[in-house]
Structure 1
Amino acid sequence: MTVATAVASAAVFVWLGMVLAISFLEAPLKFRAPGITIELGVGIGRLVFRALNTAECVLAAVVVVCLVALGGSTPAAAVVLMAILVVVLVLDVAVLRPRMDRRYTSGNVSDAMPRHSLHLWYVGLELVKVASLVILGISALTHLPA
């Protein structure tokens, strides 16, 4: 296994673990904690997801650099999966999160606040991200140059 393949594999699986732990475990569970209001939970979520997205951007850059380092031996499927991941990450960071942040900072957050369709889009994109990371991670372990 080349260094680039090993680093790409590690980065993909670290990224996958972070997304699963934060998006699908921490985010919904924090609202079940005693004394947590919607406003407080959303405030915590904004900080956590900003940190997650920063880490994701770093990990995405690491994977892209590794795929570029592999050059012509990188399978087309890995390139397509990485492109999907970059698009999803850009949509998360540049489109959805700013819109959700504006909703929060507008003062319209309360315990009676209904779930917004932006959250459904975010969850949908997170599912695409998880599927892409799983496939890319397996591909990196089995199809990238050894």
Structure 2
Amino acid sequence: MSLGSAIGAAAMFVWLGMVIAISFLEAPLKFRAPGVTVPIGLGVGQLVFRALNTAEVILAVTVVVAGAVDRPPVVVVVAVAIVVTALCAQLLGVKPRLARRSEAVLAGQQAPRSGAHHVYVVFEVVKVIALSAGGMAILVSGS
């Protein structure tokens, strides 16, 4: 396996672990902790997801550069395109809507639940599948 492929696979699996740990473990569990109110949970969530999204952008750039250097198999290119598209959709389309609702709640306003949260989760599932498939394809191809 070349250095570019190794870096690409490592970045994909680190990214995968971060998404699973934060989106599917930390995010839902924090609201079940004793004493965590909705405003506190939203405040923590904003900080955590800002950090996650920053790390995701760095990992996306790493994966794209590694792929550009190494010319991975088509399945890897497709997986990377899917995961980067999903991330862009979240950051540019869904997250601003979620942020407006969070800000309203944190300002003390009654804001109705948003369907945008479910859309965000769907994109998280898409990223998990694409990152898993792309990372495994790199390992199997040995490129």
Aligned twin of 1:62: 62
1:127 aligned residue: 125
Q: Distance in 1 between matches of 2:113 and 2:22?
A: 19
Q: Tell me whether 91-100 or 114-123 shows the greater mean CA deviation.
A: 114-123
Identity of aligned residues (%): 48
Residue in 2 that maps onto 1:12:
12
For 1:1-146, what aligned pairs fall within 5 Å after superposition? 1-71=1-71, 74-107=72-105, 115-145=113-143
After the TM superposition, which of the residue ranges 85-94 and 18-27 deviates more from structure 2? 85-94
Q: Is the 8 A contact 1:75 1:144 kept in 2?
A: no
* 1:104-133 Cα distance to aligned partner (Å, 9 max, x none): 2234777x8654211110111100100111
Q: How big is each residue's C-alpha offset from its partner over 1:4-53, in whole Å with a ceiling of 9 and x where there is no partner? A: 01111110100000000000000000000111111110111011001000
Unaligned runs of 5+ in 1: none
SS in 1 for 2:35: coil
C-alpha RMSD of matched pairs (Å):
1.7
Q: Distance in 1 between matches of 2:94 and 2:18?
A: 19
Deviations 1:58-107, CA, capped at 9 Å, x for gaps: 00110100110013xx2111111111111110111111111111112234
Contact 2:11/2:59, CA 8 A, preserved across alignment: yes
CA distance in 2, matches of 1:116, 1:108: 15
Residue identity in the other structure for 2:3: V
TM-score by length of 2: 0.93
* Structure 1 outlier segments of 4+, above 4 Å: none
1:53 alignment partner, SS class: helix
Q: State the alpha-carbon separation in 2 of the partners of residues 33 and 105 from structure 1.
A: 22
Count matched residues: 142
> Secondary structure of 1:106's partner?
helix
Contact 2:104 2:111 in 1 (8 A): no
